[in-house]
Amino acid sequence: MDTGVLYVSVPYRTCGHLCCCGCGQEVVTPLSPAQWSFTYDGESVSLAPSIGNWSLPCQSHYWIRNGHVRWSRRYSPVEIDQNRDRDRRLLTQGPETPEPTQPSRLRRLLQFWRS
């Protein structure tokens, strides 16, 4: 992956990028109603909700909004655990989604710039 590039695969319902802190770790965000969604307005992309890299050594936390990285505050270990519990609940409550039916390759849609 290249720095500053958000890769999107709609058929595989996933986005990927290198961590915005510069540590070089790959970050994968599954696209689903209970996880992340992205929007493309014809010029820039946004990814929601925020990306909390709790499993990485950097534990960076940021938003990708309108093609820019917006840094968020660092979460405490208790907040990280609460977030993970909430995410698990949302995933178990969500509807099943069908497997992709068309072949796909990871495509570069947009480049986002550090703010």
What does the pLDDT read at residue 91? 81
What does the pLDDT read at residue 90? 80
Q: Counting beta carbons within 10 angstroms of the beta carbon of residue 8, is it exposed (0 to 12), middle (13 to 18) or buried (19 or more)?
A: buried
Fill in the amino acid letter for 25: Q
Neighbours of 6 (CB within 10 A): 22
Condensed to tens digits (0 to 9), the pLDDT of residues 64-103 reads 999 999 999 988 999 989 988 888 888 888 655 444 544 3
Condensed to tens digits (0 to 9), the pLDDT of residues 4-40 reads 999 999 999 999 999 999 999 999 999 988 889 999 9
Read off the pTM.
0.73
- Residues near 96 by Cβ (< 8 Å), separated by ≥ 6? none
